[in-house]
Amino acid sequence: MRLSRYRVERLAYLVAAKLVNEKPVELRVSPDEVESLIAKAINLNLEEEAAIDAEVRDLLLKHSAVMIREGVDQRTAFVKVKAELAKRRGFVL
């Protein structure tokens, strides 16, 4: 899933504000740095998911002739293959 830069920043801000205000953990960095680190983590997660999506598209493209012949639904195949690749990589969707 692709999020705009604004949405990533807003999500990071909201999570950081909750951590700073509710103090469920001891923070050893400034609130701004917490927000920055959260935004970085979100972006890394999105990049990893995008890489999985690209790999799934490549796999499905390689097998598209068989899929068409067998009448396999592309969207269903995409979801299933993506789930399997994510599982193998230890990536939580």
N-term to C-term CA, the chain: 10
* pTM (predicted TM-score): 0.83
Domains of the chain, by residue range, sit at 5-89
Distances (CA, A) of 83 to 32, 39, 55, 56: 34, 24, 12, 10
- pLDDT tens digits, one per residue of 6-15: 999 999 999 9
Distances (CA, A) of 7 to 10, 27, 32: 5, 24, 17
Mean pLDDT of the 73-91 span: 97
In this predicted structure, the answer to whether residue 69 has a pLDDT above a threshold of 70 is: yes
Q: Which pLDDT band, with edges at 50, 70 and 90, does 43 fall under?
A: very high
